[in-house]
């Protein structure tokens, strides 16, 4: 079998099990693709040498011999894990994140470490201290972020799956801008042990793949409680989400169309047209479409701004030049060491966020900013959960427009922050959502997302899969990576 950019995990599993190809041949083939295309794409910070890879499980394991990539915010034992930051440039993780350990136990083989925004702070991949990843559909455009490298690598067929992490949309937004599937599970469904924290109350690990089936397969293998993460849900993993993928909708399915999201200012007309087509497709498949409004969504970008910065300031205090990573050698006093290590080690976007985070947490301001944001967040959750009394799932755009040009928002941080407008509400509320491709505007991919109540991943995958089967966008790949 020839491995192509469009090859899915499902196809690979079939040929591996039939012994038409060996895991080593699969890995070598992907390794070659990575070496050929990464130069131009900048998706990987590191492609592991084949002789250093671990093949730990037997052929019965669900992901036996399937290579993939891990975002550089997730720890891999014995490998550099830098969060695409200079401050962790020499940090070699002494342990595997739980998700990495579970992938390996399921037979999967991580073959590299992907670029991202520094400490996952960004929506374009451009804040990485090392390189800028390009969008495989147009190399002058961003792939989205912060899981920029993971999305670009899967979209270009350099790997069939990749892990990302998201706090405000960092898996779904790049998935949509690169034309692939991105899942954001219920908060706590996957262990965060070994995910370097950005904003702990919304951080989750998510999966990027070409198809809904592949995504359901990988996410299910990672799901479930882990004694090492006390915020985890009491769910016994692994889970099999693929059994729900029948190609049919749940009888009587009600999809809520969030009118204030679809009519939001600034959505590209081409994107709106594609989203409307998806709604028609669902109607044709038998779903009942219910229009509703979620007024608290209007506050989500502001609430996310406060909460993410505040929690980041607290989490990133540990990078001080004493324990991990970069340490400024010229410093004479401890105070200088902190100041210079952090001043040199962190990039501009991270520093800006830490300043804001410390400010919104400071005495006299914490109630005004942080506590108010937490109050609004609780109201948002109540509003979303009450919507689920009337509908099974909610339909949203992912990104207001297709991928933008590299550098487009260099002088417009507000526009960059508004990239999270449709994604961060889901993180604040803690519910699951999956982004799925729904066509192209001027040759650039567009996605939609379905969100559901806590732990409704199975229903979301079932519903996304039924749509995907009718349109098959995953068969498209950028011309230059075709072979
Ligand atoms: N773009 C958002 C931010 O910069 C989301 C990032 C993320 O989900 N990690 O905070």
Q: How far apart are the CA of 245 and the centre of ligand 1, in A?
A: 30
Question: For the whole model, what pTM was predicted?
Answer: 0.98
Q: Identify whether 368 is part of a domain.
A: no
48-52, 57-61, 202-206, 437-441: range with lowest mean pLDDT: 57-61
Structural domain harbouring 464:
9-257+267-294+382-481
Q: Is 329 annotated in the active site? A: no
Within-domain flag for 143: yes
Q: Is residue 300 part of a domain?
A: no
Residues in contact with ligand 1 (CB, 6 Å cut-off): 120-123, 146, 166-170, 198, 308, 419-420
Atom of ligand 1 nearest to the CA of 165: 9
Structure tokens at 361: 């947490």
Range of weakest confidence among 59-63, 174-178, 239-243, 442-446:
59-63
Q: What average pLDDT does the chain have? A: 96
Q: Is 146 a catalytic residue?
A: yes
Select the more confidently predicted residue: 414 or 162.
162
Terminal CA-CA length for the chain: 13
Q: Residue 162 pairs with which residues in a beta bridge?
A: 69, 208
CA dist 299 to 49, 304, 306, 402, Å? 46, 9, 11, 23
Pocket residue to mutate for ligand 1, from 117, 187, 306, 398, most atoms within 8 A of Cβ: 117
At 7-17, the pLDDT tens digits run 999 999 999 99
What percentage of the chain exceeds 70 in pLDDT? 100
Longest dimension (CA), the chain: 70
At residue 195, what are phi and psi to the nearest 5 degrees? -90, 120
Q: So what's the pLDDT on residue 367? A: 87
CB contact set of 147 (below 8 Å; sequence gap of 6+): 71, 114, 116, 120, 162, 164, 165, 166, 170, 171, 174, 182, 206, 208
Closest ligand 1 atom to Cα of 171: 8
Helix (H) or strand (E) holding 26: helix 23-41
| Residue 462 included in any domain | yes
Could you give the CA distance from residue 130 to residue 471 in angstroms, rounded to a whole number?
Answer: 37
Specify the residue with its C-alpha closest to ligand 1, atom 4: 122
The yes-or-no answer on residue 250 being catalytic is no
Read off the pLDDT of each residue in 316-337 and give the average, rounded to a whole number: 93
- Per-residue model confidence (pLDDT) at position 418: 87
- For residue 57, what pLDDT is reported? 73
> What pLDDT, on a 0 to 100 scale, did the predictor assign at position 118?
98
Could you tell me if residue 45 is inside a domain?
yes
User: Alpha carbon of 160 to those of 144, 198, 204, 270: distances in Å?
Assistant: 19, 26, 21, 29
Rounded CA separation 392/292 (Å): 13
- Position 331 in a domain: no
User: At residue 323, does pLDDT exceed 90?
Assistant: no
pLDDT at residue 58, as a whole number:
84
Instruction: Assess if residue 49 is contained within a domain.
Output: yes
Ligand 1 pocket test: pick from 200, 414, 424 the residue with the most ligand atoms within 8 Å of its Cβ.
424
Which residue in 29, 71, 85, 399 is the catalytic one?
71
Distance set, CA 43 to CA 46, 154, 162, 182, 440 (Å): 9, 9, 11, 16, 22
**Looking at the domain assignment, is residue 3 inside a domain?**
no
Number of compact structural domains in the chain:
1
Mutate which of 146, 205, 208 for ligand 1? The one with the most ligand atoms within 8 Å of its CB, which is 146
Residue bearing the bigger pLDDT, 213 or 414: 213
- CA dihedral for 462, 467, 469, 474, sign (positive or negative): negative
Which CATH number fits the domain that encloses residue 111? Answer: 3.90.1300.10
Question: What's the CA gap between 388 and 392, in Å, rounded?
Answer: 6
Q: Are 352 and 313 in contact (CB under 8 A)?
A: no
Residue 87 has pLDDT above 90, yes or no: yes
Q: What is the pLDDT of residues 369-401, one digit of tens each?
A: 999 999 999 999 999 999 999 999 999 999 999
**What pLDDT, in 10s, does the model give residues 251-271?**
999 999 999 999 988 899 999
Confidence of residue 324 (pLDDT cuts 50, 70, 90): confident
The active-site residue, picked from 93, 170, 300, 327, is: 170
Q: Which of 123, 128, 146, 147 is catalytic?
A: 146
Residue nearest to atom 10 of ligand 1 (CA): 121
């Amino acid at each position: 079998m020839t491995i192509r950019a469009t090859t899915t995990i499902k196809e690979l599993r079939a040929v591996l099990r039939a012994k038409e190809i060996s895991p080593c041949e699969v890995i070598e083939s992907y390794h070659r693709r990575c070496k050929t295309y990464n130069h131009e794409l900048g998706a990987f910070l590191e492609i592991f040498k084949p002789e250093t890879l671990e093949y730990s499980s037997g052929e019965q394991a669900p992901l036996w011999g399937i290579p993939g990539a891990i975002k550089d915010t997730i720890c891999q034992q014995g490998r550099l894990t830098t969060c695409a930051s200079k401050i962790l440039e020499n940090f070699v993780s002494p342990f595997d994140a739980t998700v990495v350990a579970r992938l390996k136990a399921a037979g999967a083989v991580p073959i590299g470490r992907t670029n991202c925004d520094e400490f996952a702070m960004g929506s374009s991949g451009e804040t990485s201290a090392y390189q800028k990843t390009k969008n495989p559909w147009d190399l002058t455009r961003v792939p989205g972020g912060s899981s920029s490298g993971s999305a670009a690598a899967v979209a270009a067929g350099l790997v069939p799956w990749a892990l990302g992490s998201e706090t405000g949309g960092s898996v779904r937004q790049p998935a949509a801008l690169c034309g692939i599937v991105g899942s954001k599970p219920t908060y706590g469904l996957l262990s965060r042990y070994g995910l370097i924290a950005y904003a702990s109350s919304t951080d989750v690990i998510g999966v990027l793949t070409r198809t809904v089936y592949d995504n359901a397969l990988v996410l299910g293998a990672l799901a479930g409680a882990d004694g090492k993460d006390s915020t985890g849900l009491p769910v016994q993993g692994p889970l099999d989400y693929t059994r729900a993928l029948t190609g049919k909708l749940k009888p009587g399915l009600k999809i809520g169309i969030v009118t204030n999201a679809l009519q939001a200012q600034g959505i590209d007309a081409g994107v709106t047209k594609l989203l409307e087509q998806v709604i028609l497709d669902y109607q044709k498949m038998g779903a009942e479409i219910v229009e509703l409004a979620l007024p608290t969504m209007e506050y989500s970008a502001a609430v996310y701004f406060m909460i993410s910065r505040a929690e980041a300031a607290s989490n990133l205090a540990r990078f001080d030049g004493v324990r991990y990573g970069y340490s400024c050698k010229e410093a004479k006093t401890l105070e200088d060491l902190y100041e210079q290590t952090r001043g040199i080690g962190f990039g501009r976007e991270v520093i800006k966020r830490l300043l804001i985070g410390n400010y919104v947490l400071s005495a006299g301001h914490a109630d005004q900013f942080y506590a108010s944001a937490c109050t609004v967040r609780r109201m948002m959750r109540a509003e979303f959960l009450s919507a689920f009394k009337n509908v099974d799932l909610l339909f949203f755009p992912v990104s207001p427009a297709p991928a933008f040009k590299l550098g487009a928002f260099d002088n417009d941080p507000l526009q960059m922050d508004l990239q999270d407008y449709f994604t961060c509400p889901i993180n604040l509320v803690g519910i699951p959502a999956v982004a799925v491709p729904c066509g192209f505007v001027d040759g650039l991919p567009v996605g939609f997302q379905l969100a559901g109540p806590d732990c409704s991943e199975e229903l979301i995958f079932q519903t996304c899969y039924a749509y995907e089967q009718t349109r098959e966008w995953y068969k498209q790949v950028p011309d230059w990576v075709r072979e």
